Amino acid sequence: MNNFLSKWNEVLRDMQKLVSVVSYELYVETLEPIKVDNNKFVVLASTSTNKRRLLELHKDKILNVIKDYFEGVDEIIVLEPSEKEAFLEDIKQAEEIIENSQNETQKSKFNEKYTFDNFVVGKSNQIVYSAALNVAENPGKHFNPLFIYGGTGLGKTHLLHAIGNHITKNNKSLKIAYVTCEQFMNAYTKSLTKKNVEDFRATYREVDVLMVDDIQFIANKTGTQEEFFHTFNDLYQFNKQIILASDKHPRNIEALEERLRSRFSGGLIQDIQKPDFETRLAILQKKVEIENYSVENNVLEFLAENIDNNIRELEGSLNKVVSLSILMGKNKATMFEAEEALKDIATSQTQNLTVDKIMDTVCKYYNVKKSDLIGKKKNKEIVDPRQICIYLITELLDIPLMTIGAAFGGRDHTTIMHARDKIAQNIKTNRSLKTNIDDLIVMIKSDN
């Protein structure tokens, strides 16, 4: 008998001692254990009534017993027969994602465009640039950990890659791991499922430099925080360099364990600010040089003046201007294209889209309550709008699946992905759905 089933038999044996004979025979013995999925233990009840009764009467007891035998489990999911298929489908998709992200981790490739040379230095990022360069030249020596924080699109990821590229070039013997917080978390939970946590630990604790991007997403993830704490200590103790990037200062990351907050604050915390006009202009000039674009000079000034809070958008606008000029058969981009490009950007900025706004529009359109939209109801009248809403959010906003999951009552990112993909698939064949979605997009973008 395999390990999983023999442990399950132990669970049954213990439960027999804890509940009445009737309860045991009706609700416990009839359960079919499905699998351990991350920190969740999944079982199938024989009927929906049995599921309800088990949850009402014995949820805590059985969870406690399961925890005794299955390390890392802190939740029990009881499915009823009608839910089994959908659940297994979700898991399959999740595993594919994890597989992909793990491969990425192992490669640890750095974007070759994200170098120190290509990073334009100005008042807004001077100190963080020096700190990053210092760390790249003396890993584990002066600033450990280096914690970089600042708004989106201001160059955090660029700097992490620059450090990676620099070390790869100058210090070939050092092992570097670069992961996003999401990848770290996925790799960890996958290792729990596959029962190879030790391999996971070895991967991350053997490196000389560990970089975790977007570490703010560790908020609320108790298990991952615990694991990361130990990884951190292990590396730190041997003077291995740790570099973290976040959109917030550690003190503003909510639901972060105090001991991690204090570890994060033990080295250098450095912010990256919005660039001033000169820096924005220099970034555009650099980009023109790198990409070999042909652009009239006043265009760059015009863009630098008008887009002032996000370098990603600034670059996006330049790309847009150049694409427009190519479409129009010109060999140099002019103010005409620049004004056109900015019109789009201006509308997308004033729209000020949020998750709430998309939810409100979907609720109005389908006449459902917001509490139902984010709640647990499983009837089609609710599930359809819910999935459509999730799809729209993924289409219209650039936010992580995990964050969307949190907005939908703490759903898992795999559930969000499943909903998104399902609707994306359905609109290919279902014309009325496509029309509804187009309507919704117009409504979302129009009513301010």
Give the Cα separation of 313 and 301 in Å (integer): 15
Residue at shortest CB range from ligand ADP: 155
Question: How far apart are CB 401 and ligand ADP at their closest, in Å?
Answer: 17
Give residues in contact with Mg ion (CB under 5 A): 156-157
Q: Where are the alpha helices (DSSP H) in 222-334?
A: 222-237, 258-264, 277-291, 297-306, 311-327
> Does 404 help bind ligand ADP (rule: CB under 6 A)?
no
> Does 322 help bind ligand ADP (rule: CB under 6 A)?
no
Interacting span for ligand ADP (CB under 6 A) from 114-122, 185-193, 323-331, 433-441: 114-122
DSSP string, 197-250: HHHHHHHHHS-SEEEEETGGGGTT-HHHHHHHHHHHHHHHHTT-EEEEEESS-G
Give the Cα separation of 215 and 353 in Å (integer): 24
Question: How far apart are CB 245 and ligand ADP at their closest, in Å?
Answer: 6
| C-alpha angle 158-159-160 in degrees, rounded to nearest 5 | 95
Q: Which does 304 bind (CB under 5 to 8 A by kind): ligand ADP, Mg ion, none?
A: none
Question: How far apart are CB 244 and Mg ion at their closest, in Å?
Answer: 12
> CB-side exposure of 291: number of CA atoms within 13 Å?
15
Evaluate whether 409 touches 375 at the Cβ level (below 8 Å): yes
**Footprint on residues 276-295 left by ligand ADP (CB under 6 A):** 283, 286
> Does 125 help bind ligand ADP (rule: CB under 6 A)?
yes
C-alpha to C-alpha distances, 309 to 142, 302, 314, nearest whole angstrom:
31, 15, 8
Q: Which does 243 bind (CB under 5 to 8 A by kind): ligand ADP, Mg ion, none?
A: none
Q: Where are the alpha helices (DSSP H) in 367-379?
A: 370-374
Query: Can you tell me which of 134, 152, 306, 334 binds ligand ADP, judged by CB under 6 A?
Result: 152
Give the Cα separation of 128 and 134 in Å (integer): 10
> Does 183 help bind ligand ADP (rule: CB under 6 A)?
no
Q: Which does 309 bind (CB under 5 to 8 A by kind): Mg ion, ligand ADP, none?
A: none
> Does 270 help bind ligand ADP (rule: CB under 6 A)?
no
Question: How far apart are CB 227 and Mg ion at their closest, in Å?
Answer: 22
Give the Cα separation of 343 and 320 in Å (integer): 11
Q: Which is nearer to Mg ion, 156 or 280 (CB)?
A: 156
> Does 157 help bind ligand ADP (rule: CB under 6 A)?
yes
Residues in touch with ligand ADP (CB under 6 A): 114, 118-120, 125, 152-158, 283, 286, 311-312, 315
